[in-house]
Amino acid sequence: MKSRENLWGAWAVLLGVIVAVAFGVFQKTVLISYNQWIYLTLAILGTIIGIVSVGNDAKESMTFLLATVSLVIVSSMGQQRLILVGDVGILIVTILNALLTMFIPATIIVALKTVFSVASVK
């Protein structure tokens, strides 16, 4: 059963990344403006990813949290420099914003699950 949970979580994260990148490119190239429905969809997808991606395994949770927190920090800090690259940099920033919108709720959900798991009496 554990391998099945990991499989669903892995597919959820992969699908989420593909959707976030596609929405980022779509927003920059086709819509050329901020659209709230894109970010709402990504936030809901991130919440779903946070719920299904990590089971009760503490090691799995810590790996997920380390990776997503690193991604969130580097993506947010790197955006200021990427804007200086020009149109390609702005496209990358739009994609990073989409990824951030998806991964922030996922990270919060997994962090809360981990805190409750650690705090629970076994």
pLDDT given for residue 11 in this prediction: 86
User: What pLDDT tens digit does each residue of the chain (122 aa) get?
Assistant: 355 556 777 888 889 899 999 988 888 777 666 678 888 999 999 999 998 887 767 778 888 899 999 998 998 888 888 888 888 888 889 899 999 999 999 999 999 988 888 777 66
| Range 77-116 burial, b when 16+ CB lie within 10 A, else e | eebeebeeeeeeeebbbbbbbbbbbbbbbbbebbbebbee
Q: Can you tell me the distance from the alpha carbon of 40 to that of 38, in angstroms, rounded to the nearest whole number?
A: 6
pLDDT given for residue 48 in this prediction: 92
